[in-house]
Each structure stands twice: as structure tokens, then as C-alpha cells.
Amino acid sequence: MIYLNENISEIVIKVGSSSLSNENGIDEDKIRNIVEQVSTLKKVGKDIVIVSSGAIAAGMAELGYKKKPSLLIEKQACAAIGQGLLISTYNKHFNENNLKCAQILITGEDFANRRRYLNAYNTINQLLKFNIIPIINENDTTATLEIKFGDNDVLSAQVASLIEADLLIILSDVSGLLKNLNDPNSIIRVVEEVNLEIENLANGKAGKLGTGGMNSKIKAAKISLSAGIPMVIAPSYEKDVIIRVIDSIESNMFNIGTTFIPKGKKLSKRKRWINFSLKPKGEVIVDEGAQKALLSGKSLLAVGINEVKGVFIAGDLVRILNEKRENIGKGLVNYSSEEIKLIIGKKTEEIHLFNEKFGPEEIIHRDNMVIEKEF
């Protein structure tokens, strides 16, 4: 049965390396199977964006690697060799189904730059209008460790959040999130909150061909849920898995994979971008009064700041910590670390007295702040 509910019209499908390759490189049968399911969904009017791994695995096979190389530069070379092969395989099978696909390669740096982030959004949207299936991968050849998304699970959740998709499906080589890796029956069917107990289930290792492992799928779930988007980790090897996942959500049966259901408050798109696409460049330590003000939704003023750490410029993201060094949240600063040091603990009137050029009174405006409150 094909799901026709209009509520789920935009779907991001992440395909892990093990779901499309084997020790000999790209596994055409696996790709054909995914492409055929996507084609079925396109016929009933769904918009599909694929986030596909597999470039490194494809390149490894070409170079005769038996296991994943450890050096980043070797992986980058493998990805450069494999990415073309990967896309041409998708292209061949989509063409057989009278569909076209497009390649998009992005890095974490692209998403950290708001203009490029919005450009990515516009391009994906235009492709969808053209009825073309965007196939996104991290640009492994240019992404170094500091600017990497790290894995495609997180990238797929960022993409789902960017286009405000209705559903994110992560296809992998496991039946879902397991309590015990050796017992497929220990699957958790529904997760409503990604708490420590859930985070601790991920054992930190990826499979032979994968990169992110379960850790990164849990990180992806946090991003997806903060955007109000349900996410399902599902077994790519099950017949008609994508269509069954959609059915499982539609019927509230949750009978395939692990479904993460959004329950909490949804963050605005801008706050999601601040929270998940940018890396903090420093820290501000605030006093108790400021902590209270921030938790009740106010902006951060100089008077509540005790200390500044790191070197940053206006517009950078910084962490906000309390006096016990517990995390309160993050925000974009209106001033550099050097400027803030000059006005720490001062009231706005005092600051204006000695520097009339002083701009906005907020060091971090509440619209540019995300409260995380991990204490």
C-alpha cells in the first residue's frame, strides 16, 4: 500500500554506506532497490531528497583497500574516486525509471555561512520544482576535520531542518536502535525524548563500511526533533522499507525501525541554524542574576558577565556558562572578546559615559540565543 497522506510530502532519505555497497564497492542491486522505492513515491507526488554516503566505500574498492584507510587524506582520495561512480550509478537507475537526479556536495563551512546555507536551500527547492531528485553528500575532498559535518547522519538532519521536511528516514544495516547489539529483538520502537539513557545505547563504533555509527544517528535525532521533524532509523535490507516506514507513521503502528517522535518545543529555523550549524569560538561566564534573566527569555547585558574566554569577533557564536561552568546555551555576540572585556560588569549608562560609540546594549540579543540548560 502506498501512503497518500498529504501531511508527509517532503521526505529526506539518508542512505548509509553499508546500505548501498559491499566489500567490492557499489552494490547495484541495493541502489536499484532504493531507486525503485523512491520512484514509486515520486509517482504519488512526494518530494524526495537523498543524502547518500558511499563515495569512500566505492573508492576503496577501486583502489583495492580491504578496510577503511585511517588517514583523512586517503579517505579524501577514495571519496574523489568514488563519488563520480556513485552518482553515475544512481543516475543510471533513476533514468531507467524516467527520473533525473542531481549531485550536491556540501561542507560544514557552507552551512555555517548563512548566505551559502540559504543558497543551498534555494538550489534544493529549485531542483524539487524541476522534479529532480537531489543527491547530497559531504564534500569529503575539501572538508578537513574542523569543517566536517563528521558524518552524513548529521548532514541529513541538517538538510531536513533546512528544507523543513516532513520526515527523515535513516537507512542503515541494523533494524533500528537496539538495547543490546547482539539481540535484534531488543529494538526500541519509539523514542520521544533523546535523554542520556538513549544516548548511552550507542556503543560508539560504526560498522565496517560506515563512519558515523549510532552516536551520530542519535545526534541527528536531536537536530531533527528540534525542528519538529520525525526521524526513523530503518533497516535498508527489508523489502519496501521506505514505503513501510511511511505507512508505519501514518498508522501510528511504529512497526518498523526506531521512530523518534517530536514532542518538545520546536526551535525557529534561525535558532536551529545558530545551534547546529555554527561552532562556538569562545565563552562568556555569567552571574546568577544574568542566568535567571536568560532563562526567562531576556537578552544578555554586559552587567551580568563575569568573564570572557577565547578570542572572537562580533557575529561569532559563543557558549554561555554560569558561575559553576555549567552550560546555559549559545548565542551570537554583538561585540568582540576584546570589546566585551572593557565593559564586563558595567551598566549600559556607565558604558555610554565612557564610550558613546557603544552600539546595541545587548551583548547577545535573545533572538540570537539558544538556551540549552544542561544543569
Ligand X SMILES: N[C@@H](CCC(=O)OP(=O)(O)O)C(=O)O
Provide the binding-site residues for ligand ADP, judged by CB under 6 A: 16-19, 53, 172-174, 177-178, 181, 201-203, 205-207, 209-214
The distance of closest approach from Cβ of residue 216 to ligand ADP in the complex, given in angstroms and rounded to an integer, is 7
Angstrom CA distances, 146 to 69, 107, 137, 142, 312, stand at 19, 10, 17, 11, 17
Q: How far is the CB of 16 from ligand ADP (least distance, A)?
A: 2
- By CB under 6 A, name the one of 27, 109, 110, 138 that touches ligand X: 138
Alpha-carbon distances of 51 from 11, 133, 135, 266, rounded to whole Å? 11, 10, 6, 23
Q: Match 524516467 to its residue by C-alpha cell.
A: 98
Which among ligand ADP, ligand X, none contacts residue 203 (Cβ within 5 to 8 A by kind)? ligand ADP
d(CA 138, CA 168): 17
Of residues 5-24, which lie at the interface with ligand X (CB under 6 A)? 16-17
Nearest distance from residue 162's CB to ligand ADP, in Å?
20
Cα first-last separation, the chain: 46
- What, of ligand ADP, ligand X, none, does residue 214 touch, CB below 5 to 8 Å by kind? ligand ADP
Q: Name the pairing type of β-strands 21-22 and 101-106.
A: unpaired
Q: Is 140 annotated as a binding residue?
A: yes
Looking at the DSSP bridge assignments, the partners of residue 167 are 11
Question: Could you say which of ligand ADP, ligand X, none residue 202 binds, taking C-beta under 5 to 8 angstroms by partner kind?
Answer: ligand ADP
Is 29 annotated as a binding-site member? no
Q: In terms of CB distance, is 150 or 207 closer to ligand ADP?
A: 207
Cα distances (angstroms) measured from residue 110 to each of 30, 101, 239, 275, 347:
30, 21, 36, 15, 38
- Pick what 291 binds: ligand ADP, ligand X, none; C-beta below 5 to 8 Å, kind-dependent: none
* Per-residue mark of binding to ligand X, 192-231 (x: CB under 6 A): --------------x---xxx-------------------
Site for ligand X in 39-78 (CB under 6 A): 53-57
Conformational region of residue 63, where left means phi above 0, alpha means psi within -120 to 50, and beta covers everything else: alpha
285 phi and psi, to 5 degrees? Answer: -105, 125
Beta carbon of residue 346, minimum distance to ligand ADP (angstroms, whole number):
50
Q: How far is the CB of 173 from ligand ADP (least distance, A)?
A: 5
Distance CA 174, CA 354 (A): 63
Task: Please tell me the distance from the alpha carbon of residue 336 to that of residue 338, in angstroms, as a whole number.
Answer: 5
Least distance to ligand X, CB of residue 360, Å = 40
Site track for ligand X across 149-188, x = CB under 6 A: --xx------------------------------------
158: cell is 541538517
> Residue 281, exposed/middle/buried by CB under 10 A (0-12, 13-18, 19+)?
middle
Is 173 labelled as part of a ligand binding site? Answer: yes
3 vs 149 by CB, closer to ligand X: 149
53 is in an annotated binding site: yes
Task: Say whether 212 counts as a known binding-site residue.
Answer: yes
Least separation in angstroms between CB 199 and ligand ADP: 10
Question: Was 14 annotated as part of a binding site?
Answer: yes
Write the CA distances from 159 to 4, 178, 203, 288, 294, integer angstroms: 23, 25, 25, 37, 29
Residues forming the site for ligand X (CB under 6 A): 16-17, 53-57, 79, 137-138, 140, 151-152, 206, 210-212
Residues annotated in a binding site for ATP: 14, 172-173, 211-217
